[in-house]
Amino acid sequence: MSTQNARLAARVADLANATVLCIGDIMLDHFIAGAVDRISPEAPIPVLRVTGETVMLGGAGNVVRNLSGLGAKTCFISALGDDAPGRDITSQLTALRGVDSSLHVEDGRTTGVKIRYSAVGQQLLRVDRETVHPVGEACARTLVDRCLAALPNCGAVVLSDYGKGVLTEAVIRPILEKAAALGIPVVVDPKGRDYTIYHGAAVVTPNRRELADATGMPTTTDNDIVAAARFLAGHCSIPHILATRSEDGMTLVDANGSVLHLPAQTREVYDVSGAGDTVVATVAAALACGLSLPEAAALANVAAGIVVGKSGTAAVTAAELVDALHHRDIGHAEARILDLPRTADLVRGWKQAGLRVGFTNGCFDLLHPGHLSLLRQARTRCDRLVVGMNSDDSVKRLKGDDRPIQAESARAAVLATLELVDAVVIFDEDTPLKIIETLLPDVLVKGADYTIETVVGSKVVLGAGGEVFLATLEPGQSTTRTVNRLREKA
């Protein structure tokens, strides 16, 4: 591991000591996934057969989800409507660890909801229900009063501006002035073309398109980005611009002219929506616990690389951040070895993208052609394959004290190198039932020496509308038989 990565990984635990004030536009993100098998007879449009729905916090709410995932404490302030989505938001915020919410219900405001319909990872349609007008004078005063009261107990501030009316200049200005007086850095996820309203912020984080809109300048090349960011910093008296550039990474430019290019992390990209929320949350939490802005930006770049590998408005966790910093130098294979919570998060993203998820399990003590045949057959039934692997203790209970031959770390590392396998999760129980109940795979695969009724988890998968597939066995292939032959020869 590089020195910088080791230093950043060691500081991730400090994020739990951060307290961040976040104010901005909150909404619900509603994802409806399905399959398209036919065209409607009523009009030339696809018919979506719904297979799953997910509702999660969006907008500034996704910033809060990320702060909570990183372990930081959050004081969250926003306005919403007196409606069912508003009550759903309140409930979801209450369930987040370390979040103290202060939500003002404004008469006449509709809580924002974005509904996205997709099939096989392709978004078909987005429907927005929302109010897009500035909060009233009374609401603005309430929001400002609550922010000013919370500021002295916070180490950083996030202004999450989605242009829906919460962050008016009347709200922004007193917060920036009080934060400056207290020496508290303010991180802004901006909206619109006039960034002078953010004067006094420590750093503003436009994406490539927002930077072009705000400056009227090209943002295609590295030099374009730097020139536009310098112009914006000088014109709006903002000391630092952190330009997020999707597949090209991020660029940090300060008003004095220094430039730091952070290349994107190489990984499979499912969805870039919400990555900006992850960036501002990570930068703010890092600044709140004493990291420098270049360090905070580097950490945010790694975090963004994690969430683009998920589907929908996703959040990053401190554990994922540490793993990513370690695995960046180790390689992609070991990054596939995950614990159950992270595997579940990955599976949710795959399912939201309309991908079919398969699961199989075993000890995989000495990998042989029978194992490879099982994995190949399993992969033909799904788009992504999760493999559950018995821990050393589990193998001993099942096979005897002289097993396993290979330690669990070695067995998992070998499995993770196979392109057939997308995730490996180790379990300590005698069976993978807990994993199956958590992941609810679309297809459960075991060898044909079982019957569907005797496959562990078959009732769970079938009850959820999934499939159990019995793979053809390779004659004469088993680890036990191999071990016995070796003993005979010895």
Q: Which residues are catalytic?
A: 277
Cα-trace Rg, the chain: 25
> What ranges make up the beta strands (E) of 240-351?
240-244, 250-254, 259-262, 337-338
Query: Per-residue DSSP letters for 187-199?
Result: EEE--SS-GGGGT
| Single-letter code of the amino acid located at 379 | R
Cα angle, residue 32 at apex, residues 29 and 37 outer, rounded to 5°: 155
208 is known to lie in a ligand binding site: yes
Residue whose entry in the numeric block shows the structure tokens 């809109």? 213
Cα–Cα nearest to 370, from 428, 448, 441, 435? 448
How far is Cα 470 from Cα 374, in angstroms, rounded to an integer?
9
How far is Cα 435 from Cα 426, in angstroms, rounded to an integer?
9
210 is known to lie in a ligand binding site: yes
Residue 317 CA, distance from chain mean position: 8
Q: Are 107 and 131 in contact (CB under 8 A)?
A: no
Q: Are 112 and 151 in contact (CB under 8 A)?
A: no
Exposure of 414 by Cβ count < 10 A (0-12 exposed, 13-18 middle, 19+ buried)? middle
CB-based contacts of 87-94 (< 8 A; 24+ apart in sequence):
88/28, 88/55, 89/26, 89/27, 89/28, 89/57, 89/61, 92/56, 92/57, 92/61, 93/57, 93/61, 93/64
42 is known to lie in a ligand binding site: no
Q: Is 300 helix (H, G, I), strand (E, B) or coil?
A: helix
How far is Cα 343 from Cα 423, in angstroms, rounded to an integer?
7
Which residues have a Cβ under 8 Å from the Cβ of 213 and sit 6 or more positions away? Answer: 193
Report residue 450: phi and psi, to 5°.
Answer: -100, 165
Compute, in degrees rounded to 10, the torsion defined by CA atoms 90, 91, 97, 101: 20
Residue whose entry in the numeric block shows the structure tokens 């075993």? 362
Q: Are 436 and 457 in contact (CB under 8 A)?
A: yes
How far is Cα 101 from Cα 238, in angstroms, rounded to an integer?
29
How far is Cα 24 from Cα 158, in angstroms, rounded to an integer?
8
Q: Which residues are annotated as a binding site for ATP?
A: 207-210
Q: Which residues are annotated as a binding site?
A: 207-210
